[in-house]
Structure 1
Amino acid sequence: MKSKLVSMVALLTLGACAGTPEAPADFDPSACYERSFDIYFERYEDQLNPAAREAIDTVQGQLRGCRIDNVRVLGLAGAAGGARENFDLSARRALYIAEYMEREPGWSRRNFQTVAAGEAGATTETGEVEPMRRVARISVHASDPSTPPPAAN
């Protein structure tokens, strides 16, 4: 019984530490600033390809040790197909990116905002199709963990 209790306390302690990102030995708080980048998808796809995962991993690596204040993921889709299908596709793209990013310690789901735009803005005023709408736009606001967190809105 005593060994089970000790094991349980150890697991709880590890779990409490899991949400804190471990700063690299050469951590520089000046690296903690807003980053924006795009993730591209194959036509009609919502799954992250290796290049997308690599781009996300690179940004998360650059921000390791920073406090992640908020993350906004905007999913987009092209004008081909129906409006509802395009909206659903853009929502899935945003959701899958958020799910992938939140696996990293310190990237809490409560700090994420996922937005789906569907095909809104996929054509110009003259009706021409905008290229490269198979994308999600990600904006990460990070700050020095030694400073007070921003006030909640």
Structure 2
Amino acid sequence: MEIYLVDDSADYRLLVRTIFKQFLPNYHLRSFQGGMELYQFLVLQSSPDYVGRRPALIVMNLKMPAIDGLELLKLIRRTPDNIVTKWSTIPVVILTHSSSAEDIQSCYDAGASSFITKPLEFEALKYLLETICHYWIDYNRLPVLSSAQVPDSSGKH
């Protein structure tokens, strides 16, 4: 299962990669340094010719330069479905230092699956990432996308 991590902090991405390598080796982590990088990759994945891994889960920071997490979330939810991926149902977890009620409400309004404040301690982060992966990938079930559900170029089913 592929998990996308989007965070503008190279140190944080390295920390998360280390946790995945040591404690969550059954999951494949792909990290992106910002919203623009992930969005460009999603556009590539929307091509019918794309044959790489699809995300089972997206974990992203909220406060990032260029395209922040809220804008990226809106873009993900508006990305056209294809034969393999229904972007509106892929779980997106906001993992951020923010705990403002306004940020929380805005993210859920935009289609976030979960909003979590980043823990400060290593063990707490490790436990949180294990919990997120187990819940969203191992236990959660997403609808299966059939070819009848994929809109053609005119937007019809």
More helix by share: 2
Structure with greater proportional strand content: 1
For normalisation by structure 2, the TM-score amounts to 0.30
TM-score (norm 1): 0.30
Ranked by relative contact order (alpha carbons within 8 Å, sequence separation 6 or more), the top structure is: 1
